[in-house]
Amino acid sequence: MRVVELFDQVRERWGERVAHRLARGESVREGFRGELNRYFDLMRQAIISGDPAWLNDVLDQWTAARTQSEREQREASLAPILGHILLSLNHVAREILSDEDALDLVSVVLPLHTHALQYASVQEADIYVRHISTELEKARTTLERLDKSKSDFISVAAHELRTPLTLIEGYASMLSDMYVRDSQPLPQAELMFQGIGNGIHRLREIIDDMIDVSLIDNDMLKLNFQPMWLNQLLNIAEQELKNVIAERGLTLENEDFPGCNEMTFADPERLYQAIWNILTNAVKYTPDHGKITISGRKLSGFIEVTIADNGIGIDPEDQTRIFEKFSRLGNVALHSSGKTKFKGGGPGLGLPITKGIIEAHGGAIWVESDGYDENACRGSIFHILLPIRKESPDGRLNKLFEPINGAAL
């Protein structure tokens, strides 16, 4: 073939030009020239056969030879090397061959070069994807291990804190009894004992929350399904919040809605805990004299409860993060403790616990908000979706109503 003869004429100078341009130092240049000769041998076969796949073997080896750091930073791509090889051919061919012969040779090599570029790019991308996948898997494993360690720590810490807390509570009670019997009590002792009692109660709530989070993380949260009515739970919560609502000048509207007075099976204690967490969250992030509305609707097989407020709102990027453990929005340095104080803080466990309780019931929870703004107060709407159950998941319906049915007979 005439093109093969042209290829052979330019090959030696072509190889020297490429080696001189790409390889620094004689020793490096010698090793590189050996690799380049192998590439030229396969290119010659590709020209003879018309099959560019002859180049694949050497391209595979060159791609695989990249170091780990080069793969991580996507450096040392073959594209610039292959580009220099083609550019050097163009210069050498014009120097040695006539314009017509140079054009013939380059026009035959160009499709092979295009194939080499495409094939190398695919192989490099595949190696990079495999590298990233491996790194992601390592990161996932590390995160799982860290999350497990964190869950274990929470569980152990919560149980370990209970013992000293019980001691503190016991000794505080003994001191209080001694104070009552003392003929000359300290003037402010009663106030001090009340403060100690409030601190113990708050600390016990935090420890209980830590234990609940540990149970949810380890899929050990047990539900006691019983017949219940949602409006009863909502009315109890409204009564419990009455003093706080009045103190903050808030308005709480507890609307009747379809399905709220229908019997369903759920764990009333846990469900009340979830509803209470959402309501106290609304109280904390609604400015004084704001409004909170409890409403909902009945859907096919589900009942939806909505708790809306005209508080400071939540940015879209934070609307899933608030359900993560220990998640807090805003500046942590400005953290202040308080369950109902405006913007009062906490350990960031209430909403994750609520999510765990709702999902354990087979439901879902999410929040809608137009964004965070302390001036405009765009507000938030929390949605709680619960399945309507006409019997307990453990089949205890008949057992629960046996006495009633027996009395009716």
The pLDDT score that the predictor gives to residue 22 is 76
Q: Given a cut of 70, is residue 211 above it in pLDDT?
A: yes
Residues 378, 369 contacting (CB under 8 angstroms): yes
Residue-level pLDDT at 142: 86
- Cα→Cα distances 336→284, 312, 326, Å: 11, 17, 15
One DSSP character per residue, 47-73 reads: HHH--GGGGHHHHHHHHHTS-HHHHHT
Contacts of 333 (CB under 8 A, 6+ apart): none
pTM as predicted: 0.61
User: Who wins on pLDDT, 401 or 36?
Assistant: 36
Condensed to tens digits (0 to 9), the pLDDT of residues 359-390 reads 999 999 999 999 999 988 999 999 999 999 98
Residue 396 has pLDDT above 80, yes or no: no
Number of alpha helices (DSSP H) and beta strands (DSSP E) in the chain: 12, 7
Q: What is the mean pLDDT of residues 21-44?
A: 77
26-35, 202-211, 228-237, 349-358: least confidently modelled range = 26-35
Give the Å distances, CA to CA, from 183 to 179, 186, 187, 189.
8, 10, 12, 13
The answer to whether 280 touches 350, Cβ cutoff 8 Å, is: yes
Residue 302, classed as helix, strand or coil, is strand
pLDDT score, position 145? 84
User: Tokens standing for 62?
Assistant: 């060159």
pLDDT value at position 409?
33
Q: Is the pLDDT of residue 97 over 60?
A: yes
pLDDT of 401 above 80: no
Interval 104-160: pLDDT, tens? 999 999 999 999 999 988 888 888 888 888 889 999 888 888 877 777 777 788 888
Q: What is the mean pLDDT of the chain?
A: 85
* Helix (H) or strand (E) segment spanning residue 309: strand 302-309
Which band of pLDDT confidence, cut at 50, 70 and 90, is reported for residue 302?
Answer: very high
pLDDT interval class at 278 (50, 70, 90):
very high
Q: Is residue 221 within 8 Å of 357, Cβ to Cβ?
A: yes
For the chain, give every domain's residue range. 2-142, 226-387
Q: What is the pLDDT of residues 165-187, one digit of tens each?
A: 888 888 888 888 877 666 566 67
Share of the chain above pLDDT 90, in %: 47
The Cβ of residue 388 has, within 10 Å, a number of other Cβ atoms equal to: 16
Residue 87, pLDDT above cutoff 60: yes
The CATH topology of domain 226-387 is Heat Shock Protein 90 (3.30.565)
Q: Which two tokens stand for residue 74?
A: 């996507």
| Tokens, residue 259 | 């399905």
Average pLDDT over residues 240-268: 94
Q: Which of 286, 247, 273, 246 is nearest to 381 (CA)?
A: 286
Share of the chain above pLDDT 70, in %: 84
22-31, 35-44, 118-127: which range is least confident on average? 22-31
* Least confident stretch, 99-103, 355-359, 394-398: 394-398
**3-state SS assignment for residue 382:** strand
Other C-beta atoms closer than 10 Å to the C-beta of 289 total 10
d(CA 247, CA 288): 9
Distances (CA, A) of 391 to 137, 262, 360, 388: 43, 13, 16, 9
For residue 267, the model assigns a pLDDT of 95
DSSP 86-120: HHHHHHHHHHHS-HHHHHHHHHHHHHHHHHHHHHH
Burial of 117 (0-12, 13-18, 19+ CB in 10 A): middle
Report residue 277's pLDDT band, with 50, 70 and 90 as the boundaries: very high
Q: Which two tokens stand for residue 70?
A: 């080069």
